[in-house]
A = this chain, B = another copy of it.
Amino acid sequence: MLCRVTFDKTRAVSYHAITMPETKLEAWSEAELQDLLSSRVKGGFGAFWVAGSRPSEPPPVPPIVLTGGIPDPDELPIEELIECSNAVLRREGPAALRYGGHQGHPGLREWLAEETKKRDGLDVEADNFTITNGISGALINVSETFLNDGEVGLVESPTFPGGAGAMQNCLCDIVGVTVDEDGLVPEVLEQVIEEQGAEGKRVKLLYTVPNFQNPTGTTLAVERRERVVEICQQHGVIIAEDDAYGDVRFEGEKPPSLFALARGKGVVFMGSFSKTVATGLRIGWTLSEQQVTDALLQTRYDLGVSPWVQRTILEFAETGKFAKHLDKMNAIYKRKRDVMLAALEERCSRYATWTRPEGGYFLWLTLAETVDPKKLQQAAYDIGVAYVGGFAFHIGDTGHNTIRLNYSFAKEDDISEAIMRLGRALEEASQG
């Protein structure tokens, strides 16, 4: 013990001696630290994701950013949120600024129940919902409620890495299930579950994004939805259904959720205002049958997410601003997608093929064999267009011949320019 503290009778005088300005912190040795950390950290599960979030060196040319799953920053409903937040704080400030409980604000859960009744015709109530720190918070909760050390969690391949990380934090094994242009492949799902079972492994959870999947933008075909629910119910596998992008639909009709098809049995539906309003709200939710909802609440110790923000979003929804905003944004995203598709057709068709989603935020490109992905990465960096390489969404060292393009964030005018730059980069990286 290095600190020098002396005491007088008041116990209040002499400790200043040890807190001289700018006392350097001390640390455990690396070996001591490694001995102290839990298996969650030792496994390094979080590392790839944390590393991916860290800022890198500034590139030579300011890039046009086609990376994150972020709403259009020029079209955020800022004045509407100010209006709603002010109304909430003035009308119900003490309640909005007090712990709201793990399950979340009853009013917001009632609104969600009414919406679900109207849309899916399901007999759900406010008590079937919990409010979470986005879908990320929801998936952490679902994972902790179902996954034990050494059990198996299934993810899509490719998948959103943060989701896989949340599951791995429960010390489960992660196995990928192929996604094609119609989404998750049921035959592969069944095969994986049976293979794992044959190895004595218990598959417990499937994490899936059936609408406008992240990263591929594909939507799970309706006949496949039935089959996925059937397979999971048969094998006792809980489905964690991530519908982050489901309401960002600007063409076609929304297919039934896995939750609706299963009538709730064995499915936890996870929704969010992140992609429809703003990712910085950190308001998502779970919907599940009552027993599962009760179980979910038994692994929550965070004292709930901010009732202030929850009530602001409810005000935004109940005053009709949410529906209006969603319509406006979907029209904007449709135009942006069209601009990106047209530019790709014009600039990139020699070097890649891509998905054509009816909604969501992403296109998924598969590079022609003639394109060197590493050269493309360097060329795109030099020319000034930023995307996420497909390998980031795969387990293991694969997916290098794919890239994810986001069209929600960049300005409409910048999208054509970005794809022109991508075309030039593709040309430079092409051996054809």
Contact = CB atoms under 8 A, between A and B. Distances in A.
Interface string A22-53: 11111110101101111111001111011001
Given A165-B301, A305-B282, A221 B27 contact: no
A81 interface: yes
Q: Count identical subunits in the complex.
A: 2
Contacts of A165: 301
A122 interface: yes
Given A3-B226, A28-B291, A35-B236, A282 B299 contact: no
B28 A120 contact: no
Nearest to A304: B282
A189 to B, nearest CB: 15
Interface stretch (A258-266, A368-376, A414-422): A258-266
A78 B89 contact: yes
Contacts of A204: 36
A376 B148 CA distance: 43
Given A94-B73, A303-B136, A298 B86 contact: no
A74 B95 CA distance: 11
Interface string A1-31: 1110101000110010011111111111010
Interface stretch (A56-64, A138-146, A385-393, A397-405): A138-146
A281 B308 contact: yes
Contacts of A256: 5, 15, 18-19
A169 B20 CA distance: 39
Given A260-B18, A282-B305, A33 B295 contact: yes
A223 interface: yes
Interface in A271-291: 278-282, 289-291
Given A18-B261, A73-B94, A261-B18, A298 B89 contact: no
Contacts of A413: none
A314 to B, nearest CB: 14
A25 B123 contact: yes
Contact of A99 (B15, B68, B263, B305): B68
Contacts of A302: 133-134, 136-137, 140, 282
Contacts of A78: 89-90, 93, 97
A82 interface: yes
Contacts of A147: 38
A286 to B, nearest CB: 14
B238 A27 contact: no
Contacts of A85: 82, 85, 89
Given A26-B289, A238-B36, A261-B5, A121 B308 contact: no
A306 interface: yes
A278 B97 CA distance: 6
Given A2-B263, A70-B98, A139-B301, 10 more contacts: A1-B226, A5-B223, A12-B255, A18-B256, A22-B117, A25-B123, A25-B265, A28-B266, A47-B298, A76-B94
A-B pairs, 7 with minimum CB distance: A46-B298, A25-B264, A97-B278, A73-B94, A19-B121, A166-B301, A97-B280
